[in-house]
Every structure is written in C-alpha cells, then in structure tokens.
Amino acid sequence: MSDPLRPSTRVPAVAAALLTCVREAPPLTHCITNAVVTGFTANTLLAVGASPAMVDIVGEAGMFAGVASGLLINLGTPTPEQRAASLEAVAGANTAGTPWVLDPVAVGALPVRTALAAELASLHPTAVRGNASEILALAGTGAGGRGVDAVDAPDAAIDAARAIAERCGSVVAVSGPVDLLTDGTRTIRIANGDALLTRVTGGGCALGALMAAFLGAARSVGADALDAVASATLVYTIAAEHAARAADGPGSFAVALLDALSGIDPADIEAEARVDESTNRIEAGAL
C-alpha cells in the first residue's frame, strides 16, 4: 500500500546542495540528443553550471561515456549513426559506472524509436524521463501520444512508471503539470513549473540533460538517484517560474529560463519548493 503524500523538506535541501556542487565542480555531461534541441540543451547545462559535450559519433561515443560524469540518451531524432552511437555510449557508461538517462521521445506509434527504446531500457538506465504517454508506451501498456505530445496525465502512468522502475532498476520521471517521480518504492510529486515550458522546443529534452548532470554530481553529496533526478526537476521548474515572471511570451521565456538557471540561488530552492513524498509499504502477510 502507499502512505499518504507528505510535504518534503529533505528533497529541497538535497537539491540546494546539489546545485551548489554542480556549480563548484561542473559535471561533464555527455549528450546524445535530438538535432532540434542540441543548442538549447547545451546552453541549459552551461547556465546551471555543468559542462556539456555533444558526442554522438560511433567510435567516440563509448569512449567519451566512460570518462563523462553523466550521459543522456534522447531519441528525438534517432538517425542510424545516433542509434549506433547510443548503444555504444550506454555500453561504455555501464562499464565505467557512469549514470545515464533515457528519454524515449515519441515512442509508441513509431516503430524504429520504439524498438530502440525497449532495447536501451533493457540495459538498465539510471533514470528514464518522459511524458505520461511515453512512459505508458515504454511499459507496454499504451500506444504513445500525439507525436511528442502526451495524451495522458502523469497519474495515469504511475503503475507503468513503477513497473519500469522495478524491471529496469531505474528511477522514472513522468513530466506534466505536476511531475511524478518514482524508484518503485518512493514516490515524489513536484508541483513547481510553468506552462510556458511546453511552448519552447526542447523544454523537456533539456531537463533530461540536467538530470544526467545532477546524477553525475550525486555522489559528492551522498544523494541517491531518485533524489538527484528530483533535484534536477526542482531546480529546473523553479527556474521556469522565475523566467515566466520576466517573460512576455515563449521567445523571451526561453532566454529568461537560461538567465533564471544561471541566477537561481540554493536558498530559492528551499523557500519555493512544492514537493510531496510517499513510500509504498508492503504490509505483513500481504502478497
């Protein structure tokens, strides 16, 4: 059964510590991501204090993943070269113990990326990030969304997220108006953010890269994978709120988001976080 959700002060405190760590010792963040968002993703990492590297060439990807702090595999534009580089990079990351994030963009109806996502998920990503329709499709219980757009709410994907977490040993982050994150035992909901994130190309993709960066820094503060992924989400969504207050629309929001990520203070995280957490408990005698 699941305990009732309770406000969390621990997650914001970890997020504040991780943000400081990322800025003091920038994690080298290896991104194999889609062609539409490469620049925005790199700038997001730079703004928060991380060091991006967009290495997606076969023969280099595996080598680089072995020395990187964290790795993102994003399936937005999975060209043949990127598909091969992704598998090579994941092999290198798993050998070196580099944490990595799978972002299964638009899986479900499209066969090439759907098959690749299933293969990558079987290689035990540290974290999986997607919208509810993508998570349902990856779990085999949904047909996917409308392209990259979800047609399901995050709570509709909670069982699918827990199933992926248990099967793959991964943290699963379901993006939406209230983000839902789980490792199969603990569940965290984050209510920060702004709707303008959905009107900027790469808003979700950049978050996947931020998760990889925070996972790469997690050991420095003793954070587990779920706390690291939640921390990245919290920093990003609070920065989005700051950016929305300064923006006139999607164009100025994109610029303001980079400024907000650069200027956000750890104290802002603890003061403004809207985070709840629960734990699934197996009762004595229950199956």
| 284 lies in some domain | no
In a domain? residue 1: no
Q: Total domain count for the chain?
A: 1
What does each of the 287 residues of the chain score in pLDDT, given as a tens digit?
Answer: 455 667 778 899 999 999 999 999 999 999 999 999 999 999 999 999 999 999 999 999 999 999 999 999 999 999 999 999 999 999 999 999 999 999 999 898 789 999 999 999 999 999 999 999 999 999 987 555 545 455 557 788 999 999 999 999 999 999 999 999 999 999 999 999 999 999 999 999 999 999 999 999 999 999 999 999 999 999 999 999 999 999 999 999 999 999 999 999 999 999 999 999 988 743 333 32
Q: What is the pLDDT of residue 283?
A: 32
For residue 33, the domain's CATH number is: 3.40.1190.20
Instruction: Flag whether 154 is in a domain.
Output: yes
287 lies in a domain? no
b/e sequence 135-173, b meaning 16+ C-beta within 10 Å: bbbbbeebebbeebebebbbebbbebbbbbbeebebbbb
Task: Give me the domain span that covers residue 211.
Answer: 6-279
Task: Tell me the three state secondary structure of residue 26.
Answer: coil
Which amino acid would we find at residue 100? W
Domain assignment present for residue 181? The answer is: yes
Looking at residue 156, what is its pLDDT? 87
Q: How far apart are CA 287 and CA 284, in angstroms?
A: 9
Model confidence pTM above 0.85: yes
Q: What's the alpha-carbon Rg for the chain, to the nearest Å?
A: 17
